[in-house]
Amino acid sequence: MTVRVPAKVNLQLAVGPLRDDGFHDLANVFHAVSLFDEVTASPADSLTLRVEGESIEGVPTGDDNLAARAARLLAQRLGVPAHAALTIRKNIPVAGGMAGGSADAAAALVACARLWGADVDLRPLAARLGSDVPFALLGGTAIGTGRGEVLTPVEVSGRFHWVFALADGGLSTPAVYAECDRLREARGERPGPPQASPDLMAALAAGDAKALGAALANDLEPAALSLRPALRDTLEAGRAFGALGALVSGSGPTCAFLADSADHAESLVAALTEAGVARSVVAAHGPVPGATVL
């Protein structure tokens, strides 16, 4: 049983104050894009995991892999042995702020549910695994509230074209949030309840790429730039080459650029590659569906 699952880019990530449970309230506008991992679940006498693909250094292959955790959680919910051979084929950047690990967990839930003949609501299990996992099930475009796991689909017209500049190495999501809190405290900022941008919602509904580019926002970007200053050069290069909008994706270090067409996206890929401001550069489009059985 093979399931394809997309990466995400955060069109807006509004971060509220730190909560007592250690999380932050968020208004997180997720957008699924056409960079995909595939997870295959096959019959087995135990739970095994294999990871394939390029640039998979840093992907855990033991019990702490999120896809393996998803399989065990589903088996516990069903009262069955967690017997499956999981194979993850990676194409989503690792530790790149594009929720690749969360995507794999969502795909593992769907694949194992099919493998084990289970008809069960996977959304509560996804939320237990992580804040980004429910969106990987849903796909499309959605606002995530709470810590990001409570989803409301968003109306989108047409297709948007993206370019992603992938950096060497990753950034720790907890470290980026901690740096965000530190920077805010140093500036004396007291963030209020996070809210989705009306301008962003209007641009998505109208399919207006120029307006969407102007409305892109990420409260974690200053923290990511503080921890990885070289990302400033990447963002500035994309803007100089005509991107309609540019931001760090999620907690980074991937940088996302909005193009006005597929041809413009390909020219941005070529220009950013020539400029040498990223390890690699790829084009994609969105929105696309969530975890899908192939």
- Could you confirm whether 210 is annotated as catalytic? no
pLDDT, residue 55, reads 67
CA 114 to mean position of chain CA atoms: 24
Is residue 32 within 8 A of residue 289, CB to CB? The reply is yes
The Cα–Cα gap between 137 and 106 comes to 6
Both structure tokens of 161: 């074209």
- One-letter amino acid at 9 equals V
The Cα–Cα gap between 163 and 171 comes to 19
Q: What does 200-224 look like in DSSP terms, one character per residue?
A: HHHHHHHT-HHHHHHH-EETTHHHH
Q: Can you tell me whether residue 127 is helix, strand or coil? A: helix
Alpha helices in 116-220 (DSSP H): 123-129, 133-138, 173-187, 198-206, 209-215
Residue bearing the bigger pLDDT, 284 or 20: 284
pLDDT, residue 18, reads 84
pLDDT, residue 57, reads 75
pLDDT, residue 17, reads 87
The Cα–Cα gap between 102 and 133 comes to 5
pLDDT, residue 22, reads 81
The Cα–Cα gap between 259 and 238 comes to 10
Is residue 164 within 8 A of residue 249, CB to CB? The reply is yes
Average pLDDT on 33-37 reads 97
pLDDT digits (tens, 9 = 90+) for 41-53: 999 999 999 999 8
pLDDT, residue 61, reads 82
Both structure tokens of 111: 């694949």
The Cα–Cα gap between 89 and 179 comes to 32
Q: Can you tell me whether residue 37 is helix, strand or coil? A: strand
Both structure tokens of 165: 């500049």
- Could you confirm whether 132 is annotated as catalytic? yes
What's the chain's average pLDDT?
A: 94
pLDDT digits (tens, 9 = 90+) for 196-229: 999 999 999 999 999 999 999 999 999 999 999 9
Q: Can you tell me whether residue 47 is helix, strand or coil? A: strand
Burial-class residue 113 by CB neighbours within 10 Å (0-12, 13-18, 19+): buried
Annotated active-site residue in 8, 37, 104, 219? 8
Q: In degrees, to the nearest 5, what angle opens at C-alpha 93 toward C-alphas 91 and 94?
A: 115
CA proximity to 30, closest of 12, 4, 6:
12
pLDDT digits (tens, 9 = 90+) for 75-117: 999 999 999 999 999 999 877 778 899 999 999 999 999 999 9
Average pLDDT on 172-183 reads 93
pLDDT, residue 205, reads 98
Annotated active-site residue in 37, 104, 132, 219? 132
